[in-house]
Structure 1
Amino acid sequence: MTSDFSIAVHALVYLGKNQDLISSDELAKHICTHPVRVRRVMIKLREAGLIKAKAGVDGGYRLDKEADNITLSEVAKSVSNDYIHVTWHNGEDGREAIKDSKVEQAIDSIFVDLNEACDNLLKDKTIEDIMNISK
């Protein structure tokens, strides 16, 4: 999981508390990050059907679903492929790997289980839940 998840949750909570179109500049001020970074995340949220976007000078973003119908699992999946991602595997540098121990398969299995556990946890939490905590 990347920081895009945190940016997405912050943005969705802010949008959930406001009915007007909110610009990426305004979102960036409230999230404390650069507007370009916000726009990159918002593209992913729009593609996932979580928000609507209007281009132009008077454009901005608004929720496309009710906050209580947006799970954190949906948010995470819209900005990332896995919660935990393995970037290194044994033997990738060209040297002989330990093949008989099956350590790699065991580790991969653990990561699959961790990703599933994370997803199950986030399926039960919504943007509205976060909004209620942040009141």
Structure 2
Amino acid sequence: MPLYEAALIIRMMSKPDLVSTIKRAADNILNRGGILQKFQSSKTQQLPYTMIANDAKHKTGHYVFITFNAPPAVVEDVNDELQRDLDIIRGSILRVEKPSPFSCTLEEELQPPAYRKEVQEMLAEIEKKKKVFFKRNTPNLDYYPFQK
């Protein structure tokens, strides 16, 4: 099962109500076969702009991140339930991609860009893509026959 992260902005409310809202979202994931891995919650924060949800303007909210594993077919249903919850201002589910492994050495980084392997590969690729704008079609002639 792939790894997902639910990012929720929950409206301003008391701590017991906040806990029940987070628990409701977690139960929604568990009831559909998901496996919870991590919760991350922040304190009450100013929202970047005034958000309107359920005919109310919200200027402050709680940011909550829930990391979970779930089958891909279930994610759309979970997201739909999060959108319907009246206490959640914004909710979205993102798939967490594994970071691609890379090797970085200090010696390569200290070289000038012209000597780096990646830059040389990019320049070779550009040379391959260059088009010849004008090519004379006069084989085996030492001169251009149509010039006066």
State the TM-score, normalizing by the size of structure 1.
0.26
Structure (1 or 2) with the greater helix fraction: 1
Structure (1 or 2) with the greater strand fraction: 2
